Every structure is written in structure tokens, then in C-alpha cells.
Structure 1
Amino acid sequence: MAPGYGPGTTLDWARRIDAGPFSSVSVGERVTFPNPEMVATLGACAAVTERVQVLANLWVLPQHPMAMVAQQIGTLDQLANGRLEVGVGVGGREHDYRALGADFTRRHQQLDDKVAELKALLAGEPPFEGADPVGPACVQPGGPIILAGAMGPKAMRRAARWADGVSGFSISGDAAEIAQACALADRCWSEAGRSTPPRKVSGCFTALGVADADQALHAFTARYLGFLGPELAELVAAATRASSPEVLADILDGAERAGCDEFILVPAVTDPKFLEVAAEVVAARS
């Protein structure tokens, strides 16, 4: 999503991520924005990596037919040889829904229904009576784990019925905010009678390894959140702070204390120096 993304960026970054101390390579979905398409990008990442998890973070399910998503997930899981994880959510960009001819209303109920349909398809049930199952089959029996892009109490309680965990986000990487989300997930899973605690993922926007990293981070965030309107986008961008190794280390420490299992760094720049600096921070913590 950062400016300057172009031919060669995906493969270069994926290989560097796989070679580094990172746990996953992650790609998100957005349609009406100049970023690469998620599934094709994940496929390329899966093909050139061997170690890291391949994380779809996240798939806006109400925008898509589930038979196609099931086939894409099976294909990606085969390309990744069982290293695929899938985050799903409702999104918040009406223009993406309109561009894909999808209904923007009742998104949360749509998500509940589509997850149930998707799980049935991944388990080998045919999409309708008399049809063959959707293939290919996943390497992981029953399909990859599913994380819910849920952050509020209502969405979290719904997710506790069908997700394996949550994938949240903190613009500023604030430890208290992350801890609150993790505690809410644990509580919702317990109230739903789930015997296994939820996997908890969070993340933030980050700029490292470039001159004026703080300005690059602010500009990226304001540009990416432009759909909120210029005033609100600028206000949110002012809260970003992960633009130095020291601050990033502090954010990661805070996320770990908060109970986060994994933390996603969303790069505001395409310079590979970002990965060099981030790798040093991550390696120093292990």
C-alpha cells in the first residue's frame, strides 16, 4: 500500500522476510486503491517462501462468492504447503463493495453466514446438491485457522462463535489499547464456552530505514485513510509513532506484555532498508 510499490517488490520483500527473523508475510485486501490484489500477491509470496506463515490479513468476505474464496484458499494453502492463515472481516470501505457489485448493508450478518458457508466448502461439502466439491483440498485438514478482524464487543462476541482468534490493529501501537482488545477476546471466548483461548494478532503502521521516517509514516497513514475525509485522516495520522527502532522495540514489548501472539508491521515505505532495521529490532528481542 506504500508509494513506490511496483514490479519486483513482492518477490524481493517476501524472500527477505522469509530469510529474516520474522514469523509471517502478510497481505491485505483493498480494491479502490493502487495496491496489488491480495490473492495473487499471496500466491507469489507462498511460492518464494519456505518458512514463514502466509497470512491473508484480511479477506473482506461479504464482497465475494464463497465458492471462489474456498478455491482460492485451497490453492494458496497448497502453494504454501500448509502455511496459510486467513483473517476475515467486514471492511469499512463502501467504494470497494460498490466496485465489486456487493451489498454494503448487514455486513456483520453476511460475515457470519459466509464463514459458515466457507467452512462447509473447505470441509468438502459441495456448493449445491449434485455438484462436485470445490477444489483443490487444503493441505491443512478442514482448512487454515480463521482469525476475525473484530475489535468492538459486539463483533468480538459474534467472532467467538466461529473464529480461531482475532486480528486487530492499533494505529499508535498503544500497549493499553492492545491489552484491552486481548482481554476482550479472552473474555468473549470464555463466555462462548470455547475451550481453546483465541489466537491474538495486532499490528500498526511503521516507517523505518528512511530519511524523515516520521514524516513518511504520517503521509502514508493520511493517504491510506483518505476515505475517512482529509481532516479525520490527518487527525488519525498524528497518532502514529512507530518511526524509529527504539519506539518499535517499545511497541513490541508492550504488545507482548498485553498478551499478543503476533504483531504485524505494516510498512509505510517500500525501501528494503525497512526490513534490515526491523530485523535488527526483532532479532534483539529473541
Structure 2
Amino acid sequence: MNVGLGLPISNPAQLLTWARRADAGPFSALGLLDRLVYDNPEPLVTLAVLAGATSRVRLQTEVLIAPLHNTAILAKQAATLDRLSGSRFTLGIGTAGREDDYLAAGVDVHRRGRRLDEQLALLRRAWSGEPYGAGDGDGVGPIGPAPVRLGGPEVLFGGFVPAVFERVARWGDGFLGAGLGPQWMDTAFRDVERRWELAGREGRPRLAAQVNVALGPETVLAEARKEMGDYYAFTGRPGHMLAGLLTTPAAVRDAVTAFTGIGADEVMLYCWASDPDQIDRLADAVA
């Protein structure tokens, strides 16, 4: 059973403490979300710092809004982080849909899916050591450093539309699902596996599920609810997400068991409150 932690974003100065304590514990990965027009730390910069403070735990974006990024620079950043971490980096990517992020980046939100598809081909070429560009002699030379992992860092896709499942089958190593219960996630997992098989891919996709958690006294729970409510306010239905927040050890344990039962290779427990003592509480809950 692989259980990871999603890192809280409200106090970036505490993230080194979170990373070191998680690395010394039973957790498999540390995840960090991405937004542009929001008060969160930039994920690639932050994970690079955390890579130097850890030696075992994996580091992943959940998920990086790739269309906001310059593709060539993203290829270099991801390969560098793969090298510096000893291939402990997982690039979770998606498109999201918050218009303010795209306006700030100067990217057309309505082209985000097509832009991501274009980026994926370029990223894979860059990580394979080929000249950067579309091929046919128009490349500009390879972009280094070469990643430790052949073909580039592990890539997971987040989202629930059919195009996401197709990207997993064509370009990815697996799927990261967030915000759905085990019954609905089971359907998504099976769709990902079916499209993977139809694409003729060998092996099987890695499947990860993410659930929101907060364990501790009422002050911890109140902070988590506030942070979640603020983050999901853009949906117009933050209460719907808050209803899924798990706040007891039994609920966390049952969720991990349920997601593992439908084939999840990893369950990410996303923490919204900054208290690092939650690491020990969560470790006890899933022991």
C-alpha cells in the first residue's frame, strides 16, 4: 500500500519540515498543487528545494497546469528535477480551467487542450535527446540535461474527461484522480485501463487517487475548511468539496482501503492545514 501526502500551501516556510518528517515516515510521495493567480508556492521551484531535503520520498505535481508554461523551459525544468532528485520526480499535468490563470499567463484558455497535446509531443522529443521542435529538420538542437529515467520523468494526467484518458494511453505513465469517491473512481480507472490496452501499450498504467484530509484538534479542522473553501470558491460550490473532507482516522483508513481495493497503486492524502503533526496522525491512521 503506497500512501502519499499532498502538501498544504498556506505556509510555504513549513514545507521543509513537512518534507523531512514525511521522508522519515511511511509515506511514498509528496504532492503539490499548481495555480498562478493564487497565494501558493510555485511547485517546480518548491519541489526542487524539497528534493534536496529528502532522500527517499517521491515528489510530484498535482497537477501542473502545463499549458501555462513555456514548453522548452518546462522540458528542461522537469529533466533537471528528475536528475537532482535521483529520478524521484513525477510530473502530474493537466489543463485546469480557471480563466484568470490563463489571462495572467497570456494563454488562450479555449486552446488549452490542443496546446497540451502539442506540448506532450515536444516534451517527449526533448527528453529523448532529439532536436527540439516538430522534426523534419526544423529542430534547434537537443535540450539537456538528459533525465535519469529513459524517455523522461514519470508523467501522470489529472482530470476526468475522455481526452485525459486518451492522453494517458498515448503519452503518459498513469492517471491521477481527485475529488471522486471510490465508486466513481472505479469507473475512471477501468476506462483508463481499457484505453491503455486499446492503444497497444505494454504493462498497465499507474493509478493514483487523491482525497482531502485533516486530522487534529478543531483549530486544524477549521484551518483546513477555510483553505479548502477559499481554493474551491471559484467553482461556486465549495461546500460540495468540503463535504468530502475526511477528518477522522477511521474515515482516512477506510478511504485508503477502498481506493486500494479498486486498484489504486497510490492514495494521496491531501492536507489543507499547515500543522505538521498531522504527519504522525496520518501515519498512525494508515499503519
TM-score (norm 1): 0.90
Structure 2 letter corresponding to 1:275: I
Segments of 5+ residues of structure 2 without an aligned counterpart are 1-6
Corresponding residue for 1:109?
114
Corresponding residue for 2:209?
202
Structure 2 letter corresponding to 1:89: G
**Residues 214, 241 of structure 1: 8 Å contact kept:** no
Write the distance in 2 (CA, Å) between the matches of 1:31 and 1:193.
Answer: 36
Pairing of 1:30-41 with structure 2 (within 5 A):
30-41=35-46
Corresponding residue for 1:68?
73
Pairing of 1:133-282 with structure 2 (within 5 A):
133-170=142-179, 174-211=181-218, 214-229=221-236, 232-237=237-242, 239-282=243-286
1:108: Cα distance to partner? Answer: 1.6
1:101: Cα distance to partner? Answer: 1.2
Q: Deviations over 1:81-131 (max 9, x none)?
A: 111111111112111111111121122222111111111011112225473
Compared CA separation, residues 201 and 155, structure 1 to 2 (3 A): same
Corresponding residue for 2:141?
132
Write the distance in 2 (CA, Å) between the matches of 1:42 and 1:265.
Answer: 17
Corresponding residue for 1:27?
32
Q: Deviations over 1:214-253 (max 9, x none)?
A: 5444333221111123xx122332x223111110000000
Write the distance in 1 (CA, Å) between the matches of 2:107 and 2:162.
Answer: 26
Corresponding residue for 2:3?
none
**Bigger relative CO (Cα 8 Å, ≥ 6 apart):** 2
Segments of 5+ residues of structure 1 without an aligned counterpart are none
**3-state DSSP of counterpart to 1:168:** strand
Corresponding residue for 2:4?
none
Structure 2 letter corresponding to 1:147: L
**Residues 165, 200 of structure 1: 8 Å contact kept:** yes
Corresponding residue for 1:95?
100
Pairwise CA RMSD: 1.8
**Residues 211, 245 of structure 2: 8 Å contact kept:** no
TM-score (norm 2): 0.90
